[in-house]
Amino acid sequence: MQLSDRITGLFLAGLGLAAAWGGSRLPAVPGQDVGPAAFPMVIGGGLVLCGVMIAFGIGHSFEVPDEDAETGFRFRDLRVLVPPGLLLFYVLAVERLGFMLTAFFIVGTAAVALGARPRLALPLAVGAPIFIHAVFAKLLRVPLADGILPALW
């Protein structure tokens, strides 16, 4: 996801414009002179300014070049979306499957995606959820969903 400064700068400027526009449409508050619109408009304006400056490459000279910068897109780079995808899976599945199964799947998938052999991934996927359940549900009393496979204690 290495983008040029021109793209990110213009994106920020656009976001700033949208924020300022959205802010200006907020209703005023009865009995007050300064309403909820002021702050988003100031920030939006600032973002537009910064975005345009970035797009024109001002201040670029301060940056330290990224060591592992690589160009071009490879299919395997899509793996970068695995962690947020697993979090989304947690949100969707935990109530139905329960904490244990969901966590087993998350740890197992992440480990395999990072190149772990089954000899490491499997015990990890079994052990880590049990340990984390013990800490959070028992010590910290966080209500973790039971689902179809409740914890044994």
Residues 62-91 contacting other proteins, CB under 8 A: 62-64, 66, 68, 76-77, 79-88, 90-91
Least distance between other proteins and beta carbon 93 (Å): 10
Asked if 18 and 43 touch (Cβ cutoff 8 Å), the reply is no
Cα separation of the two ends of the chain: 45
Considering only CA atoms, which of 152, 153, 149 is closest in space to residue 105?
Answer: 149
What binding mask, one character per residue, do residues 21-50 give for other proteins by CB under 8 A, x or -?
Answer: -xx--xx-xxxxxxxx-xxx--xx-xx--x
Count of residues that bind other proteins according to CB under 8 A: 84
* Structure tokens, 64: 């330290």
Window 103-132: residues binding other proteins (CB under 8 A): 103, 106-111, 113-116, 120-121, 124-125, 128-129, 132
Considering only CA atoms, which of 45, 39, 38 is closest in space to residue 18?
Answer: 45
Residue 16, Cβ density class (10 Å: 0-12 exposed, 13-18 middle, ≥19 buried)? buried
Least distance between other proteins and beta carbon 148 (Å): 16
When the beta carbons of 27 and 152 are compared against other proteins, the nearer one is 27
